[in-house]
Chains A and B, each alone.
Chain A
C-alpha cells in the first residue's frame, strides 16, 4: 500500500503543522470511522444473536443453521447472479458500441452523449417509479405500444408475472446504466493513440477488423477495470428493484441485498431479524469478494493468452 502512494513530503513536520494536519483530516476521518468502520465491525457483534432492534438473545449457532436451511436466501443469491450476468451481457456491448460510435464524430454526437448519460443523473428510486408506470399491466404505455403495433394481443403483466418481472428489472437497469459505462469506454478509447488507427487504415484494415484486432486489445487494461466495476455494481444493485417490484412477484426478482434489507428493517409481514441479517451480509460480501477474485484470476489468465 505504501509503495502505491507517491511520497510528496516537503520535509519534516513542524508541531504546529502537525496540529493543522490533524484538524484538517479530522472531519474526513470521523466520517470514515463512524459511517464505514464502525458499521463494519458492528455487523460481527450480533452474528450469534437473535436481535429484533429492541432485545437480543444469544442463540449460538442457530443463525448459521438457519442460513443453510434458508432456501429463499439461496434463491435470492441465484437471482443476483442471474440479474448481474444478464445486465452485463446487455449493458457492456451496448455501452461499448455506443462509445465507438461516439468516436466517429457523427452529426449530433455531443448531444447524444449528454442524452445517453442523462439516466445516471436521475435518482434510481424515481426512475424505478416512472418505469413502474410504464410497465403497468392495464394502463401502462409499454403494453399500449406493443398492442398498437400488433406485437402482443393481450396485456403482459410485466411486474406481476414471474416470467417477465426479471426482464422488466433488466430493462430499467440497462436504461439507467449504459451511459455510465459508455463514458468509461470513451475515456478508455481516447487513450488509444490516434496514429495507431491511421497506420491500420494505411494497411487497408476495415472498420470491424480494426476494432477487433487493434481497439479491443489496446483497450484491455482499461476494460479490466471497467468490467470489475460493472460486476461489483451489478451485484450490489437493489434500490431500483426495491421500488419497481419489491422483489416480487413471488420473490422472482428478490436479489440478496434486498432480501437482507427486508430482514433488517422489516416489512409488513415480519419483524426485523437483525442478527441473522448480519450473518447474511457477511455471506453476501464474501460472495461478491469471491466473484471479484475469480474474475481477477480469469483476467490474468486471459492476459497470458493474449
Chain B
C-alpha cells in the first residue's frame, strides 16, 4: 500500500515546477481555443444590440456603442419573427413528442421481443444510416405531401424530421434497455400485466434518463432543421421556422439593409437552444456517445 503511494507520488510529475509550467501553457491553449469557439456566438449576441449603422461600418468592437433593443422590436413586429418563432416552437415540440412516442415503443419491442420481420426491420434501420441519397429524398416526400394536400402543413415537416432522427434514438433506447433487467418484464407478466401494460407501467418510468436525452436531441433536431422546411415552405412564408426566415432575409436582395434584423433573428434562433444546452449539456454530450459510436 505504502509502496503504491510512493509510485503515485513520483509518477505525478505534474507537481514539479516544469510540470506546472506545462499545465499553465496547456491551460492558456485551451482558453484560446475556448474563446475562439465562443467568439461567433458572443459576436452575434452583442451585435444584435448594435444599431444598424454601427453594424454596417463594422470594426472590431464586440460591445455596442449604444445599446438598443430596436432590432428585436423591429424583427418581432415588422419582419414576422413572432410567426417564425411560433413555427419553430411547434416544429421542435412536435418532433420531440413524436420521437418520444415512436422510438420508446419501437426501442422496447426491438430489444425485448423476437417476432417475424424483426431482423428485417432492424437491418433496414441500420442500412439507411449508411445509404444516403442526400437531398434527392426531399423531392418524392415533397410530391407525396402535395398529393396528400399536406405540403404546407407543419405536420409534414415534423413527421419527416422525426423520421430522420428515429434510428439513432431507437438504438440509444435499445442500448439503454440492456441495463434494465429482463426479470422485471417477467415478474410483471406473472402478475398479469399485458405486454403493453408492462411497457407502460414498468419499463417506461425506468427509461426516463434516456428519454430525456431523446427529448433534448430531437427538440434540437426540429429546432435546427433548415433545408427540409425551406423546401416545404417555399410558397408559404407564414409557415417558415426561424432558420428559414432569417436566411430568406439574406437572400432577399436588400441584405445589407437588414443586417440588424438578421442579427436579432439569429439570436432569437440561437438563444433558446443554447439555454437548454447550458442547463442540460450532459444529456446532449452523453447522447452522442451513448448509441452512435459502439466500437
Residues of A with Cβ closer than 8 Å to B?
A: 1-2, 5, 7-10, 13, 16-18, 20-21, 24-25, 27-29, 31-32, 34-40, 42-43, 53, 98, 101, 104, 106-109, 111-119, 121-127, 129-134, 136, 138-141, 143-145, 148, 175, 179-180, 183-184, 187-188, 191, 198, 201-202, 221-222, 225-226, 229, 232, 236, 238-239, 242-243, 257, 260-261, 264-265, 274, 277-278, 281-282, 284-285, 288, 292
Contact = CB atoms under 8 A, between A and B. Distances in A.
A219 to B, nearest CB: 10
A35 B106 CA distance: 16
10 contacts: A24-B108, A28-B105, A31-B162, A115-B38, A130-B44, A133-B259, A138-B58, A264-B139, A274-B139, A281-B133
Question: Is chain A's binding surface mostly helix, strand, loop or mixed?
Answer: helix
Question: Is chain B's binding surface mostly helix, strand, loop or mixed?
Answer: helix
Given A7-B114, A34-B163, A130 B266 contact: yes
B137 A40 contact: yes
Given A229-B293, A265-B135, 4 more contacts: A9-B114, A134-B40, A175-B40, A222-B293
Contact of B58 (A111, A140, A184, A257): A140
Contacts of B102: 27-28, 31
Contacts of B194: 16-17, 20
A206 to B, nearest CB: 9
Interface string B94-131: 00000001110110111111110011011111101011
A114 B278 CA distance: 8
B30 interface: yes
A39 B8 CA distance: 59
A122 B195 contact: no
B63 interface: no
Contacts, number: 302
A8 B182 contact: yes
**Which of A7, A32, A202 counts the most B-chain CB atoms under 10 A from its CB?**
A32
Contacts of B295: 188, 191, 221-222, 225
Closest 5 CB pairs of A and B: A139-B58, A39-B137, A123-B224, A35-B163, A125-B226
Given A116-B33, A130-B40, A123 B223 contact: yes
Contacts of B182: 8, 10
A134 B132 contact: no
A104 B7 CA distance: 18
Given A35-B137, A40-B137, A118-B274, A112 B30 contact: yes
Interface in B186-239: 186, 189, 194-196, 199, 220, 223-227, 231, 234
